[in-house]
């Protein structure tokens, strides 16, 4: 029987959802790609795996048998991964991660999932702004750094792992909330709550505004994203923030994303280390985990 692990993984998802579209979404594939793989699998085993009546699909007897085996195979693969990890020394490893204060909103969630697979691993998580991240890289203090925009003048390995849209936010009572295509120039009349010097979010904001020859009038400086969100909610002014810091406020409609020209600004999150640095087995495993799993675990709010 000429069956690949990839085909079994796709089959397992379709069998679980009994729905090709949902399986395709979960696997980040197109629906025709999923159907094609299932067709090839059926050709390989020479029996149909699904029955279709109208729009509903169900497993055939062969499908049910294959589902049982594909579950066993996934469990065995997971076990093999754990055993190999132990051999590589991940089991009792230690990891120093330094993350941007804006990444702090999702990194603990990723770490929690990683730790379920490697319960013996210890972490020290240092949260700082962009200036602090660059210092940690320069002084080789961190195994891995998670940041918005890696500096170009350092010799680094930087890999992007998730989109990072930045938006302008306002309280729901703000007169611009229902406006469409607000010109960036209109922002000149607004008070902005800005992060401290040294913050990546702040320097991005300054760059976007400066490109249009704008300087927000009377900015109010606050060194914490939480304080900025509270300030915007209280009507002190507007702010520019990564959507990852806003998940709860947007869901509860305590803050609103304004439709401003040029926004959202689409950036990426990066996992970074110095070029030439030898990553420990744990650092390597966490880096691989982040590159493969982040977008399954962290939801990027729609804006
Ligand atoms: P910061 O993070 O605003 O907390 O510095 C964003 C970044 O790394 O660019």
- Calculate how far, in angstroms, residue 207's C-alpha sits from the geometric centre of ligand 1: 14
Ligand 1 mutation target, pool 97, 98, 102, 194, most atoms within 8 A of CB: 102
Whether 246 and 157 have beta carbons less than 8 Å apart is answered as no
Of 146, 165, 164, 166, nearest to 156 by C-alpha is 146
With a cut of 80, say whether residue 51 has pLDDT above it: yes
Mean pLDDT over 64-71 rounds to 94
Whether 199 and 193 have beta carbons less than 8 Å apart is answered as no
- Calculate how far, in angstroms, residue 137's C-alpha sits from the geometric centre of ligand 1: 14
The C-alpha atoms of residue 133 and residue 121 are separated, in whole angstroms, by: 23
- Calculate how far, in angstroms, residue 204's C-alpha sits from the geometric centre of ligand 1: 9
With a cut of 80, say whether residue 21 has pLDDT above it: yes
Residue 300 has a pLDDT of 85
Average pLDDT, the chain: 93
- Calculate how far, in angstroms, residue 200's C-alpha sits from the geometric centre of ligand 1: 4
216 vs 287: which has the higher pLDDT? 287
Residue 83 has a pLDDT of 78
Angle subtended by helix axes 130-138 and 200-211, to nearest 10:
120
Band the pLDDT of 42: cuts 50, 70, 90. Answer: very high
Band the pLDDT of 106: cuts 50, 70, 90. Answer: very high
Band the pLDDT of 126: cuts 50, 70, 90. Answer: very high
Mean pLDDT over 112-128 rounds to 92
With a cut of 90, say whether residue 183 has pLDDT above it: yes
With a cut of 80, say whether residue 217 has pLDDT above it: no
Residue 141 has a pLDDT of 87
With a cut of 90, say whether residue 99 has pLDDT above it: yes
Burial class of residue 181 in the structure, from the number of CB atoms within 10 Å of its CB (0-12 exposed, 13-18 middle, 19+ buried): exposed
Band the pLDDT of 94: cuts 50, 70, 90. Answer: confident
With a cut of 80, say whether residue 299 has pLDDT above it: yes
With a cut of 90, say whether residue 60 has pLDDT above it: yes
Burial class of residue 273 in the structure, from the number of CB atoms within 10 Å of its CB (0-12 exposed, 13-18 middle, 19+ buried): buried
The C-alpha atoms of residue 21 and residue 33 are separated, in whole angstroms, by: 10
Give the pocket of ligand 1 (CB within 6 Å).
100-102, 129-130, 147-149, 195, 199-201
| Three-class DSSP category at 115 | helix
Long-range contact list for 136-141, CB < 8 A, 24+ apart? 136/98, 137/272, 137/273, 137/274, 140/274, 140/277, 141/96, 141/98
Q: Per residue in 188-198, pLDDT tens? A: 999 999 999 99
The C-alpha atoms of residue 284 and residue 144 are separated, in whole angstroms, by: 9
Structure tokens at 166: 């930045």
In the chain, DSSP assigns E strands to 50-53, 56-59, 94-100, 122-128, 144-147, 156-170, 193-194, 220-221, 239-242, 256-257, 265-274
With a cut of 90, say whether residue 218 has pLDDT above it: no
Q: Per residue in 151-176, pLDDT tens? A: 999 999 999 999 999 999 999 999 99
Band the pLDDT of 12: cuts 50, 70, 90. Answer: very high
Band the pLDDT of 43: cuts 50, 70, 90. Answer: very high
Residue tagged 């900025």 (tokens): 228
Residue 265 has a pLDDT of 95
Mean pLDDT over 276-301 rounds to 91
Residue 143 has a pLDDT of 93
Nearest ligand 1 atom to alpha carbon 101: 4
Mean pLDDT over 32-45 rounds to 96
- Calculate how far, in angstroms, residue 4's C-alpha sits from the geometric centre of ligand 1: 42
Mean pLDDT over 36-46 rounds to 96
Mean pLDDT over 62-88 rounds to 86
Ligand 1 mutation target, pool 97, 151, 201, most atoms within 8 A of CB: 201
The C-alpha atoms of residue 198 and residue 25 are separated, in whole angstroms, by: 39
- Calculate how far, in angstroms, residue 203's C-alpha sits from the geometric centre of ligand 1: 9
Residue 82 has a pLDDT of 73
Ligand 1 mutation target, pool 97, 135, 142, 148, most atoms within 8 A of CB: 148
The set of residues, in sequence order, having a beta carbon less than 8 Å from that of 158 and lying 6+ positions away, is: 150, 270, 271, 272
């Amino acid at each position: 029987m000429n069956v690949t692990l990839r085909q079994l993984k796709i089959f397992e998802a379709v069998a679980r959802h009994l729905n090709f579209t949902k399986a395709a979404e979960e696997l980040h594939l197109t629906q025709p790609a999923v159907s094609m793989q299932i067709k090839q699998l059926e050709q390989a085993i020479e029996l149909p795996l699904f029955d279709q009546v109208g729009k509903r699909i169900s497993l055939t007897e062969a499908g049910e048998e294959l589902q049982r085996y594909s579950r066993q195979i996934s469990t065995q693969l997971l076990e093999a991964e754990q055993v190999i990890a132990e051999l590589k020394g991940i089991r009792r490893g230690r990891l120093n991660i330094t993350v941007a204060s804006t990444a702090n909103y999702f990194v603990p969630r990723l770490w929690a999932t990683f730790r379920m697979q490697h319960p013996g691993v210890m972490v020290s998580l240092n949260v700082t702004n962009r200036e602090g991240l660059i210092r940690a890289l320069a002084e080789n203090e961190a195994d891995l750094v998670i940041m918005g925009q890696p500096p170009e003048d350092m010799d680094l390995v930087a890999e992007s792992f998730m989109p990072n849209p930045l938006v302008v936010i306002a309280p729901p009572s703000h007169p611009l909330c229902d406006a469409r295509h607000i010109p960036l120039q209109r922002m000149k009349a607004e008070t902005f709550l800005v992060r401290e010097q040294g913050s990546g979010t702040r320097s991005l904001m300054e760059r976007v505004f400066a490109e249009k020859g704008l300087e927000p009038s009377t900015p109010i400086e606050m060194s914490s994203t939480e304080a900025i969100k509270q300030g915007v909610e209280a009507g002190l002014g507007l702010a520019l923030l990564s959507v990852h810091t806003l998940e709860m406020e947007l869901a509860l409609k305590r803050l609103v994303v304004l439709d401003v020209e040029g926004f959202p600004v689409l950036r990426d999150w990066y996992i970074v280390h110095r070029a030439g640095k030898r990553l420990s087995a744990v650092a390597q495993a966490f880096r691989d985990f982040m590159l493969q799993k982040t977008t399954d675990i962290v939801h990027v709010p729609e804006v």
